[in-house]
Structures are given as structure tokens and as C-alpha cells.
Amino acid sequence: MATSTFRNKNMVRPKKGGAAKRRRCLVQRRRLIALGLSEEAVAKLQTHEVRDMLKRPTKTAAMIAKAQA
């Protein structure tokens, strides 16, 4: 057994796959739609914007309700 990979746990840790990443993005977009944001608006957002909006969902929901009123 090679000792370099055995000692260095960063070399043998599992890595994120593309399919899992796309699935997480889809779930996050669905969460924004459930909060009340329109599908067209969610489709235009970048992934980092989606994540930033979901960090504080109560503020996001309040912002959406205020915009719709």
C-alpha cells in the first residue's frame, strides 16, 4: 500500500460529481419557486445568486411578498 495516499486523506476523499451538483441546483431553484418567486425570474438567476437568496429564506420571502404587493 502506498503510504502517501494513505496518510494524505485529501487525496482519497470523495469528490463532487456533476450530476449531484446539477440536482442540488435544481432542488434549490424549486425551493425559490416554493417561496413565491416566479419561474421566469428563477430561470434568469445564476447559481450563486440562487444560493445567496436561500441563505436567508425569511428575508427572501419578505422581499418577494413586498415586490408582489
What mean pLDDT is predicted for residues 34-47? 95
Query: Given this model, what pLDDT does residue 14 score?
Result: 81
**Cβ atoms 12, 5 nearer than 8 A:** yes
- 45-61 pLDDT, tens digit per residue, is 999 999 999 999 999 99
- The closest alpha carbon to 35, from 46, 25, 23, 50, belongs to 50
Provide the residue type at 20 as one letter.
A
**Cβ atoms 64, 42 nearer than 8 A:** no
Query: Given this model, what pLDDT does residue 48 score?
Result: 96
From residue 21, give the alpha-carbon distance in Å to each of 5, 16, 28, 53.
26, 7, 11, 18
